[in-house]
């Protein structure tokens, strides 16, 4: 969400719908039925299981550092990329790509 929309919400205190929150980037997903929530969450989780835990952990660390201070976040991203670049997960990812198969992280 942009600064202007954030300020509008803060200053007016107006309520917004789930659809508006999704459109403005406050929410990643909207489900219309309660019974759809858990399957949606599981679907996202299952996709993360296909990715490198090393890379996911590094991404979370870099994003969190950037939220605190963009310069620190940039430095963290560079450092973490270097750490990931030499990891076993990176080697497996490249091998899987070259062999045209799914990686086994």
Distance of CA 66 to the CA centre of its chain: 13
Structure token digits, residue 44: 């996202």
Q: Tell me the whole-structure pTM to 2 decimals.
A: 0.69
* Predicted local confidence at residue 84, as pLDDT: 92
Structure token digits, residue 3: 């600064």
Give per-residue pLDDT as tens, 36-65. 999 999 999 999 999 999 999 999 999 999
Statement: residue 5 has pLDDT above 90: no
Give the number of other Cβ atoms within 10 Å of residue 43's Cβ.
10
CA-nearest of 90, 102, 82 to 52 is 90
Q: Would you place residue 6 in the very low, low, confident or very high pLDDT band (cuts 50, 70, 90)?
A: confident
């Amino acid at each position: 969400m942009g600064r202007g929309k954030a300020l509008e919400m803060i200053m007016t205190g107006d309520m917004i719908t789930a659809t508006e929150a999704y459109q403005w980037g406050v929410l990643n997903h909207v489900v219309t039925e309660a019974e759809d929530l858990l399957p949606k969450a599981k679907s996202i989780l299952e996709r993360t299981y296909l990715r490198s835990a090393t890379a996911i952990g590094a991404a979370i660390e870099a994003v969190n550092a950037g939220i605190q201070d963009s310069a620190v976040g940039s430095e963290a991203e560079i450092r973490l990329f270097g750490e990931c670049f030499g990891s076993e997960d990176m080697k497996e990812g490249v091998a899987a790509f070259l062999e045209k198969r799914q990686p086994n992280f």
